[in-house]
Chain A
């Protein structure tokens, strides 16, 4: 194998400054989780994400995933050798076929997702042993919005992710019914992230 073919197949670079950029991404994630539905910027982070992952989803992988966190990937990501080698090289995180084993689930095409069921929701004694589901988004300023209420929100917060499957809001409302069990959802648009933790109540506005 020559050097040029090695360079072609080598995984893309991670953070330029792994310590401070991981911290900056985490602070955006922490603020997103603490203030559900608000948009947190990742504009200061430079990354070349492996297709078909977007920048924010890649930043979440680099910030939070390692050998302790099995990752579940949707079909498009699972079929991308570039993504698999990127995760293996940068995080050494195991990739799992089973939703209930996953600490994180990355979904590049949320519209094609059949259901949110099957992911770990934790147990009564350990509700933290649940899956965090990351949905790649085109934008977080879509026209159609829902209202969020709950911890982290003073009165009410409108939230409008662009790419969610038809069943999504109904299943998220069911997820909130299980509180304190349940999945937490992160929304990853290129330059922005937002969060919808299980504690948040979703109110769908009638058209």
Chain B
């Protein structure tokens, strides 16, 4: 099929724009519209085989391919970082098949495909956040049969999930789930927010941006429209609490952000740095400096010596 993109640079013309054929895009687009109309409900779709293995974000890739246009600016992150394998590979995939501009800046992007993080900078109403989801069914580890979990969602029968969280409290004194922490969307469906840290859960509540979720292997699409209630499940006497970190980022001194632990040697020394690489770089560019950040003046003196 011939295309004459206006704002895009050259791209691989051996494939249709954004790789997928038009019938597949229509099928995915219909599923997205249903997903937005029923926030948190998992819409089945005819997931296609993609040129990367299951587990590499085929669900998110199919969503992005169905949504992306020639005027979009794409950002792809993998656990917050723009330059890890998954992010680089998928960004290059869309560069090759669409020719759209890509960015690492959260502010500039119109589409953000993410694996397991929500960016630290707040998103606006013109942006779309697309999550890669491995297992979309929050009840799957409690009830393996799809026929049963469907019935449980239909009847709003979520007692089993509360029992699971209660058993955590009975065993450990607190809810031990730290990622893929289940949420209640629009007071109706319990939803798996994909394996984002529970630190990110509060950002989903009343977010101005549209959130789309795609699970390629499990063939499900779901969505949270902007300004929708997303409540992490908890108990009155054991309220939901996001992770807290005892020290700021070692490179940019940011507090109240999600930090990755980096092991430095085999003697047990470590550092904590922002998981969101764009946020950390932005802060360092503004002059914020953590206690382990390289000192440019000092390192210049060293190299001259």
Q: Which residues of A contact B (CB under 8 A)?
A: 17-20, 22-24, 26-27, 29-31, 33-35, 63-66, 68-69, 103, 123-128, 130, 132, 150-154, 179-180, 184, 197-199
Q: Check: B284 CB closer than 8 A to any chain A CB.
A: no
Query: 25 interchain pairs (CB within 8 A)?
Result: A17-B3, A17-B4, A18-B1, A19-B16, A19-B17, A20-B17, A23-B68, A24-B69, A26-B25, A26-B29, A26-B66, A27-B69, A30-B36, A33-B36, A33-B225, A63-B29, A64-B29, A125-B150, A125-B154, A128-B34, A130-B34, A151-B226, A151-B228, A152-B228, A199-B37
Q: What is the minimal beta-carbon distance from B73 to any residue of chain A, in angstroms?
A: 14
Q: Which residues of B contact A (CB under 8 A)?
A: 1, 3-6, 16-17, 22-23, 25-27, 29-39, 41, 43-44, 66-70, 125, 150-151, 153-155, 186, 188-189, 206, 208, 210, 223-229
Alpha-carbon distance A34/B189, docked complex (angstroms):
17
Task: Indicate the member of A20, A63, A179 with the most B CB atoms within 10 Å.
Answer: A20
Interface of A is mostly: loop
B38–A127 CB distance below 8 A:
yes
Alpha-carbon distance A35/B208, docked complex (angstroms):
10
Given A30-B210, A33-B33 in contact, is the A20-B5 Cβ separation under 8 Å?
yes
Chain B residues near A127: list those with CB within 8 A.
38, 41
Q: What is the minimal beta-carbon distance from A164 to any residue of chain B, in angstroms?
A: 19
A198–B70 CB distance below 8 A:
no
Q: What is the minimal beta-carbon distance from B48 to any residue of chain A, in angstroms?
A: 14
Given A20-B5, A198-B37 in contact, is the A27-B67 Cβ separation under 8 Å?
yes
Q: What is the minimal beta-carbon distance from B11 to any residue of chain A, in angstroms?
A: 12
Interface of B is mostly: mixed
Task: Indicate the member of A27, A68, A103 with the most B CB atoms within 10 Å.
Answer: A27
Given A30-B210, A125-B150 in contact, is the A64-B30 Cβ separation under 8 Å?
yes
The 8 Å CB contact of B151, one of A26, A34, A125, A180, is: A125
A151–B5 CB distance below 8 A:
no
Chain A residues near B5: list those with CB within 8 A.
20
A-B pair count, CB < 8 Å, reads: 122
A69–B41 CB distance below 8 A:
no
Given A24-B69, A128-B31 in contact, is the A64-B227 Cβ separation under 8 Å?
no
Chain B residues near A69: list those with CB within 8 A.
30
Alpha-carbon distance A69/B23, docked complex (angstroms):
12
Q: What is the minimal beta-carbon distance from A199 to any residue of chain B, in angstroms?
A: 6
Given A68-B27, A180-B41 in contact, is the A22-B22 Cβ separation under 8 Å?
yes
Alpha-carbon distance A191/B1, docked complex (angstroms):
27
Given A125-B150, A128-B31, A151-B225 in contact, is the A66-B38 Cβ separation under 8 Å?
no
- Shortest Cβ distance from A65 into B: residue: B26
- Shortest Cβ distance from B126 into A: residue: A31
Known: A19-B17, A23-B68, A34-B226. 8 other contacts (CB 8 A): A23-B17, A64-B29, A69-B30, A125-B153, A126-B150, A152-B36, A197-B38, A198-B37
Chain A residues near B225: list those with CB within 8 A.
33-35, 151-152, 199
A124–B154 CB distance below 8 A:
yes
B43–A128 CB distance below 8 A:
yes
Chain B residues near A31: list those with CB within 8 A.
210
B37–A153 CB distance below 8 A:
no
Alpha-carbon distance A35/B33, docked complex (angstroms):
12
Q: What is the minimal beta-carbon distance from B298 to any residue of chain A, in angstroms?
A: 49
Chain B residues near A33: list those with CB within 8 A.
33, 36-37, 225
A29–B33 CB distance below 8 A:
yes
Chain B residues near A19: list those with CB within 8 A.
1, 3, 16-17, 22
Chain B residues near A184: list those with CB within 8 A.
33-34, 37
Chain A residues near B154: list those with CB within 8 A.
123-125
Alpha-carbon distance A22/B67, docked complex (angstroms):
10
- Shortest Cβ distance from B30 into A: residue: A64
Chain B residues near A26: list those with CB within 8 A.
25, 29, 66-67
Given A23-B68, A125-B154, A127-B41 in contact, is the A34-B31 Cβ separation under 8 Å?
no
